[in-house]
């Protein structure tokens, strides 16, 4: 018999948090709406709604709109909306060959977005932590974020992350193991005299699927998979609208599904993994071998080689098209394993798979259909509209999502000027 | 932005149901316990607890224990426990070569259990529905269930099931497609003049993992996988203590993960699927080829061949041991795909894999460890203690589980005699 009963939504603190989240999400979806409309939509009493709205307004998360200036906060019938002027959430991504940073407001509108080639693999973890900290400090000081409270920062990493501790357990393609990234960034920020803020570290695929769920073209689809298309291939999985974390936080590692016995050597040390057959570096070594160095690619090399592969495929180069078709088929065979296990509504190809999708996508979709037992569903394989910013956007969105669940880290502040 | 906000625990009906479930689960875990203790453990008010307990007592789901006879229901301080005397839940399983039925009480104690060889594949769906209905009628009339209210019956099927409609979409190893099993059983029951009852149809692996979660040796483990070891191989997946249903209800279909290009032909029509390499029929064709007919196995043949394979492996037969080792390795490669995707705490091998586990289990565990990216975890692969009754028990448990979530289909009845 399952041990202790889970004490669900009944605890007093839990109820308040759940209700705060319910009101915030209702306003997000239905703004402008009145307190009475929120009460009707949620089943909460009007006095509970008024108390929660007052709390949210004191933290400048909600404001009144479309009401005459002389009306007070608290008057029923006044339209409410989220106040997008007060907070910012920052997401960063470090990947094998780039750094990305995105900041969003409460409506998840992008305030700023920067992308730079960066040879993270050669730099090593300590130098990466320094670059990330520098980029974060620069972002927080940016005039575009002036007068906003920064909710926190989230860092996406291509590898296994112990999210509660912020330790990167194993990132084969960066060659990091057991690196305490969150602690290191916090230490560097303190040494530089920067104000402390909540820091999160998570897997790039996990944050990619959050970005798709909250802001992609399939936003709101509760059973969704996002596949990173980098040197590594990983999957972020949402089931029932929640991130699948598994028993130890290591889900979606399809990059190491064994597909070909005795196949090419993978970054993880094994042979024939999906990543060694359809990871972007493996794809490029087949598609544009003349542009690839003997050793590992550095910095901007990967993105230049992707551009070249796209240009040649567009020009009809049969060898490039064949290599992309072959990679797409392997990707589809790996994705089929995932589709057969978790039955998502859609699998979204992200990262460098986006520019390669015209050639790699159709064979991938065909392989998924051929190897899934469930009836074929057209449109199961899709291409991301978020490109290389997905993981960083997802990290910023995850911070906003925590607010939407009623976790309010913000102090009460004076009401916003009218 | 995700469309309509989910209205979570706030709706009045939802709160009552959540609270009913919370109280029932608390009593299940902590009995005997008083109303005051329940209030303290759940955060509910004492008057809410008393009202809910009265509701549960009126339906004879809860009773007072260890209290003097003159004390009234409603008096605080009296010990409460689940009343295991009033209900029964029935689970049946139809598989390629057998029928199983199990009935349990509210504490999930087994009231009766029957297992019979039955050649479901040759019988066809209509004859199967008749046999299932006959077995159900016989079970409900059994003196062991006398004076109990039957909560309903659940039927486990090895294949894709559309659970909401009770239609078996595709069960390759039974050769059923689009068969409305629930409707057919309900019709046969009505024609035979039997009282109507709630009927559910679900996938055998889904119900197997529920049985493990509620009554197996790893009960209460929230991230758990159960693998059926029949002619078909499927996985039932729990994440966070909830069954993973996916976007269309077809999760855990690892039987058709492609493992070997150009491998043996599978029941689904493809080649090299896990099921064609490690399903029990495939295993036996390698392990005891002399006992296998050219055509499909019938009725009791499969179970007799499993017994023979076990006897020969125990006697040290190298060919049998080699075949089981090979099958275990393939099973582990397939299970690794699942472990890499959903990161369960444990994978439990069930069905006919249980008697074969001494030889098939260790190579399976080794292959899972070799092909998982996450750090190795000893004991990740386990053997079920529930044998061939798992799916039927899980079906019965699922009916009890619905009560535990506050869904009370039972009418109020007179209080139980003291």
The string of pLDDT tens digits covering residues B115-125 is: 999 999 899 99
Indicate the class that CATH gives domain A12-82.
Answer: mainly alpha
pLDDT at A409: 63
**What confidence score (pLDDT) does residue A34 get?**
92
Averaged pLDDT for residues A282-295: 91
pLDDT tens per residue, range A31-70: 999 999 999 998 888 999 999 999 999 989 999 997 544 4
Phi, psi dihedrals of residue A163, rounded to the nearest 5°:
-60, -40
Span A315-335, pLDDT tens digits: 999 999 999 999 999 999 999
Q: Report H helices in B154-300.
A: 181-191, 204-215, 274-278, 280-287
Sorted by sequence, the CB contacts under 8 Å of residue A99 that are 6+ apart come out as A92, A93, A115, A116, A118, A120, A131, A132, A135
Q: Which of A71-85, B256-270, B279-293 has the lowest mean pLDDT?
A: A71-85
Block residue for tokens 């894709």:
B160
pLDDT bracket for residue B14 (50, 70, 90): confident
How far B192 CA lies from chain A's nearest CA (Å)? Answer: 35
Residues of B in contact with A18 (CB under 8 A): 8-10
- Give the separation between CA A155 and CA A125, rounded to whole angstroms: 13
Whether the pLDDT of residue A131 is over 90: the answer is yes
Peptide bond before residue B32 is cis, with ω within 30 degrees of 0: yes
Closest by Cβ to A333, choosing from B249, B258, B344? B258
pLDDT score, position B262? 86
Predicted local distance difference test score (pLDDT) of residue B374? 75
CA distance A29 to chain B (A): 6
* Interface membership of B160 toward A (CB under 8 Å): yes
Mutate to test the interface with A, among B247, B257, B382 (most CBs of A within 10 A): B247
Nearest-CA distance A417 → chain B (Å): 27
Mean pLDDT of chain A: 89
Residue from B1, B3, B8, B10 whose CB has the most chain A CBs within 10 Å, to mutate: B10
Residue B180 has pLDDT above 90, yes or no: yes
C-beta separation of B294 from B301 below 8 A: no
CATH 1.10.10.10 boundaries in chain B: 12-82
Q: Does the structure show a pLDDT above 80 at A413?
A: no
Selected from 3.30.420.40, 3.30.470.10, 3.30.70.520, 3.90.105.10, the CATH number assigned to the domain covering B88-206+393-404 reads: 3.30.420.40
- Region B45-65: mean pLDDT is 92
DSSP conformation class of B235 = E
| Level-2 CATH architecture, domain A217-385 | 2-Layer Sandwich (3.30)
As a whole number, mean pLDDT of residues A164-174 equals 92
Q: CA–CA separation, B386 vs B229, rounded Å?
A: 12
Q: Where in chain A is the domain with CATH 3.30.420.40?
A: 88-206, 217-385
Instruction: Kindly list the residues from chain B whose CB atom is less than 8 angstroms away from the CB atom of residue A81.
Output: none
Asked if B94 and B179 count as a contact pair (C-beta separation under 8 A), the reply is no
pLDDT tier at A223, thresholds 50, 70, 90: very high
Residues 209-248 of B with CB under 8 A from A: 213-215, 219-220, 222-223, 235, 237, 239-242, 244-248
CB contacts, 8 Å: A10 with chain B: 18-19, 22, 42-44
B207-230 average pLDDT score: 96
Can you tell me the mean pLDDT for A122-145? 95
- Number of cross-chain residue pairs from A and B with Cβ atoms under 8 Å apart: 233
- Whole-angstrom distance, CA of residue A258 vs CA of residue A246: 20
Contact B341 A344 (CB under 8 A): no
In chain B, CATH 3.30.420.40 covers 88-206+393-404, 218-385
Q: Find the helix or strand (DSSP H, E) in which B226 lies.
A: strand B224-227
Percent above pLDDT 90 for chain B: 71
- Say whether domain A88-206 belongs to CATH 3.30.420.40: yes
| pLDDT score of A163 | 92
Summarize pLDDT for A144-159 with one digit per residue, the tens.
998 899 999 999 999 9
The least confident of A406-410, B307-311, B353-357 is A406-410
Q: Which long-range contacts (CB under 8 A, 24 or more apart) does A54-58 make?
A: A55/A20, A55/A408, A55/A412, A56/A20, A56/A23, A56/A24, A56/A27, A57/A415, A58/A412, A58/A413, A58/A415
- Tell me the average pLDDT across B1-21: 57
- What is the structure's pLDDT at B417? 44
Residue A325, C-beta contacts closer than 8 angstroms, at least 6 positions apart: A359, A360, A363
Local confidence band at B6 (pLDDT 50, 70, 90 cut-offs): very low
Mean confidence (pLDDT) of chain B: 89
Q: Does B141 touch chain A (CB under 8 A)?
A: no
Task: Return the higher-pLDDT residue of B100 and A67.
Answer: B100
The CATH architecture annotation of domain B218-385 reads 2-Layer Sandwich (3.30)
- pLDDT of B383 > 80? The answer is yes
> Which chain B residues touch A9 with a CB distance below 8 Å?
8-9, 15, 18
- Is the model's pLDDT at A415 over the cut of 70? no
**pLDDT score of A74 more than 80:** no
Alpha carbon of A195: minimum distance to chain B alpha carbons (Å)? 31
Higher model confidence: residue B14 or residue B289? B289
A362-376, B191-205, B328-342: the lowest-pLDDT one: A362-376
Of the pLDDT bands very low, low, confident and very high (cuts 50, 70, 90), residue A299 is: low
Q: State the Cα–Cα distance between residues B29 and B23, nearest whole angstrom.
A: 10
ipTM of the complex: 0.82
Considering only CB atoms, A341 lies closest to which of B8, B12, B251, namely: B251
State yes or no: pLDDT of B11 exceeds 60. no
């Amino acid at each position: 018999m399952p041990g202790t009963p889970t004490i669900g939504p009944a605890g007093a603190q839990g109820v308040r948090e759940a209700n705060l989240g319910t009101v915030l999400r209702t306003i997000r979806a239905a703004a402008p709406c009145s307190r009475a409309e929120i009460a009707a939509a949620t089943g909460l009493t009007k006095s509970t709604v008024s108390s929660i709205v007052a709390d949210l307004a004191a933290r400048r998360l909600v404001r009144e709109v479309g009401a005459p200036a002389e009306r007070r906060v608290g008057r029923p019938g006044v339209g409410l909306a989220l106040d997008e002027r007060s907070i910012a959430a920052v997401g960063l991504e470090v990947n094998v060959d780039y750094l990305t940073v995105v900041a969003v407001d409460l409506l998840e509108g992008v305030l700023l977005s920067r992308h730079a080639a960066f040879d993270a693999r050669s730099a090593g973890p300590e130098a990466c932590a320094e670059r990330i900290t520098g980029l974060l400090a620069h972002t927080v000081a940016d005039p575009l974020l002036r007068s906003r409270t920064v909710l926190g920062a989230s860092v996406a990493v291509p590898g296994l992350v112990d999210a509660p501790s912020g330790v990167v357990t194993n990132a084969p393609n960066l060659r990091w193991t057991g690196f305490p990234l969150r602690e290191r960034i916090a230490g560097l920020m303190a040494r530089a005299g920067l104000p402390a803020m909540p820091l999160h570290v998570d897997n790039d695929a996990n944050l990619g699927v959050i970005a798709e769920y909250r802001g992609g073209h399939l936003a709101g689809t509760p059973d969704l998979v996002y596949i990173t298309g980098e040197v590594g291939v990983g999957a972020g999985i949402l089931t029932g609208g929640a991130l699948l974390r598994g028993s130890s936080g290591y889900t979606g590692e399809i990059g190491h599904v064994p597909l070909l016995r005795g196949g090419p050597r993978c970054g993880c040390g094994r042979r024939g993994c999906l990543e060694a057959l359809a990871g972007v570096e493996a794809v490029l070594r087949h598609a544009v071998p003349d542009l690839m160095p003997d050793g590992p690619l550095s910095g901007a090399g990967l993105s230049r080689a992707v551009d070249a592969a796209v240009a040649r495929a567009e020009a009809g180069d049969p060898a490039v098209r064949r290599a992309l078709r072959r990679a797409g088929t392997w990707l589809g065979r790996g994705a089929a394993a995932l589709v057969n296990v978790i039955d998502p509504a859609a699998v979204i190809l992200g990262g460098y798979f986006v520019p390669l999708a015209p050639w790699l996508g159709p064979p991938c979709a065909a392989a998924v259909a051929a190897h899934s037992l469930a009836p074929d569903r057209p449109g199961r394989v899709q291409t991301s509209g978020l490109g290389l910013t997905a993981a960083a956007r997802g990290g910023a969105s995850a911070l906003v999502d925590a607010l939407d669940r009623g976790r309010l880290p913000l102090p009460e502040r004076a009401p916003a000027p009218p």
